[in-house]
Amino acid sequence: MNIDLILARMPVEDKARLLCGRSPFSVGGMNEIPVLYMQDGGTGINYEQLFQDRRGDEADGFTPEECFHVIRRFYHTEELSDHELVLREKITARLAEIKGNITSAPGCYPPGILLGSTWNKDTVYEVSKALGTEALAYGIGVLLGTPNCNLLRDPRNGRFFEGYSEDPTLTKVLAPEMCRGVEDMGVASNAKHFACNNLEINRVGIDEKISERAIEELYLPAFEECAKVTSTFMSAYVAINGVRCTENKWLLTDTLRGKWGFDGLVVTDWGACIGKAGDSLAAGNDLFMPGPWDHEDIVEAVRDGRVSEERLDEACRRLLTLIEKHSGAKLPEDITDAEYVAMGNKAAYDAAVEGIVMLINKDGSFPLKKETPLVFFGSSRGAFRDYGAGSAQVFTDRTTILPEELSKIPGFDDIDFDDYEAFKDGAMAVVIESQDSSEGADRKDLKLSRETSAILDKLISDRGTGKICLILNTPGPVELGGYRNCLDGLFAVFYPGMEGGRAMADILTGKASPSGHLPVTFPERLEDIPSFLSYPDSFSCVYGEGIYAGYRGYRKSRIKPMFPFGYGLTYTDFEIEDMSAEVKDGKVVTTVTVRNTGTRSGKVTLQIYSHKVFADVPRPENELRTFGKYGLEAGETKSFELVFDAGELKYFDADRKAFLLEEGAYEIRCGFDSEDIRASAKIRIDEGSDELKCGITWPCGKIAEHPELEEALKADVEAHGDDYGLYISDCTYMPFKPVCDIYPGSSGYEGFLAACRNFRHE
């Protein structure tokens, strides 16, 4: 495809049409330009989108309700009417045309929150390769939502399950691996929703008031790392500080392209351009979806000068380049259906095993002993909800069911349902709290369902010798209240994907050891979350917690969570025997020696946090800087080196519009979660940012905190015949005023400047 020639021949109207899509999930298809299909796929293939976009005449003669029902229950033929089965046969034939020799159903993979729980970037990479393979099987060239980079700020968020973590470091390490694996399979990945799409309430156009420091330190880092790998970005529905993301030049052009150097395509979220398309194009959006979008304002914008024709060509060139590279996406013919299934199953299973978090294991109740009778309670009959609703939904018949998987393991086939007498006689009761969640609406609260509460009440009231295991099949944290102390086992599987049942069975029985750690904090109650008072009641939302989102806020407010960020139990125990830290060649190098003191092999997740000693600006007490997940045999001792760039210790100074590094002492802490710090070592930064160096630019109130500096200043002020009373007055009424503003001649205060050079901020 000769892109230069195509652009030279195309009139403005056709260029504008090109940027406005061909169908809800495809672009191109004009003249010699091939068609490129794009679709949601961060957890697998979304059949609703697939057939909305690519159906032919299969739906003729069927009602919309029938079409909807067939797609959603495609693999539950017993629930379809005879007439609906006819439609299913037509769709099956259409699928065969698309998929070729791949005859199996699509895979359903864990979403971001469970991938975040793995604390393992290799696991995320393998899942993303499987997702890329899925895309090729369905002829999809751009896999949308790979990844959702938005910080998990508030657990009420309807899409909470899609994000990776409440921490920017964990997110920025794991999210790019989703991009990398998809891209390595020859499919374009897509980082969304740029930026700060942290709630679903009034999501189209809600105006979020966020401090610049919070944006830079918390909400942008993962996007910046993904910009180094991904081919496409998706601009968000929301507005940030009064400017819609789809029209935000600072976000899309100055930051994404100018500061980060991203040269790929920016597509709007579906329906996110609620203003003028021409203004959005001028700000930095390239593609408007769903297609066919109205192109008239783009044409008008070029005519009236709001958009230059050069900018129009730039956007078209990016889209044509993407189409040229990724149209005609197809799975290699030498990959068999069995290989396709095996690759997907393994990636989904490994992620679930690595990500499922054990939160309570009272008196070593797990792993279960052989011949332990099991009783499942509740309407789900032991089945997990594998996915969240909306863009992330996946319909498949490849789901694994926990009781069925347990029965395949020798010694664990004594399984019953809703038998309270068996429970009282010593069985392990397994209760699954399964909650739905979806884009477009937030959760009202974090409470357990009435069904689960009723079951637990009955079990607790007359438990005999029975034990209780609760499994949280939820989009995020839930409140447990008084139930917590009555549980013998508690596991968080979140939405575990198609292999969740098998993975959970292997963990319960000890075939696999739990190694997941929470990527978010579990509060005792909703009212404890840092963003509780900032939930919007209109189309405006103030991020009142600022930089204290997630575990940073709990620590700042001295609120004890139910389970802290980073928490997770294993079937063994670990001790940190030694730790050291040093600054070397611009890196902070931490060495940690760990011993597995238990009787089983297992994986330890070492979490390295930093703490600024005597910080001059407000800072979180603990900030995750790096981490590592390592396997150790029983009794084994190993040393591990964990390294991060010293620049990670910077904070964002909104006044100076820059990240700055404070000199002085830092404590580098190693823990098993954000509260369980097991060892620490001090380092010192002697050369901080010039803007922060002790001197005449320091505010007088800060000088007053250090007697040796104040005495030197007083001596120089009086020696130069200046009025020391000005300093005293400003310390009282304007302590933020710099010395140089009080005394214009202070650059000649040699004694004071010498004291500043000798000053060491410990």
Over residues 704-726, mean pLDDT: 96
Cβ-in-10-Å burial (0-12, 13-18, 19+) of 35 comes to middle
Distance CA 372, CA 365 (A): 11
Domain covering 574-689 assigned CATH 2.60.40.10 in the classification = yes
Q: Would you call the peptide bond into 738 cis, given omega within 30 degrees of 0 as the criterion?
A: no
Distance CA 49, CA 394 (A): 11
Instruction: Give the pLDDT score at 56.
Output: 79
- pLDDT(54) > 90: no
pTM strictly above 0.85:
yes
Over residues 441-469, mean pLDDT: 97
Q: Check: CB of residue 681 under 8 Å from CB of residue 629.
A: no
Please give the CATH number for the structural domain made up of 339-557.
3.40.50.1700
Q: HSE (CB half, 13 Å, CA atoms) of 240? A: 24
Distance CA 31, CA 325 (A): 17
3-state secondary structure of 608: strand
pLDDT in tens, 409-437: 999 999 999 999 999 999 999 999 999 99
- At the second CATH level, the architecture of 3-45+110-326 is Alpha-Beta Barrel (3.20)
Per the prediction, the chain carries an average pLDDT of 96
pLDDT in tens, 472-501: 999 999 999 999 999 999 999 999 999 999
Over residues 315-327, mean pLDDT: 98
Q: Check: CB of residue 680 under 8 Å from CB of residue 621.
A: no
Distance CA 453, CA 545 (A): 32
- Does this chain's domain 3-45+110-326 share its CATH topology with 339-557? no
Instruction: Give the pLDDT score at 762.
Output: 64
Q: Would you call the peptide bond into 735 cis, given omega within 30 degrees of 0 as the criterion?
A: no
pLDDT in tens, 204-222: 989 999 999 999 999 999 9
Instruction: Identify the CA nearest to 465 among candidates 421, 508, 419, 430.
Output: 421
Cβ-in-10-Å burial (0-12, 13-18, 19+) of 7 comes to middle
pLDDT in tens, 227-258: 999 999 999 999 999 999 999 999 999 999 99
Torsion sign over Cα 379, 394, 57, 341: negative
pLDDT in tens, 89-140: 999 999 999 998 899 999 999 999 999 999 999 999 999 999 999 999 999 9
Instruction: Give the pLDDT score at 715.
Output: 97
Instruction: Identify the CA nearest to 553 among candidates 655, 664, 674, 436.
Output: 674
Domain boundaries, the chain: 3-45+110-326, 46-105, 339-557, 574-689, 694-758
Instruction: Give the pLDDT score at 101.
Output: 87
Pairing of strands 415-417, 265-268: unpaired
Amino acid, res. 105: A
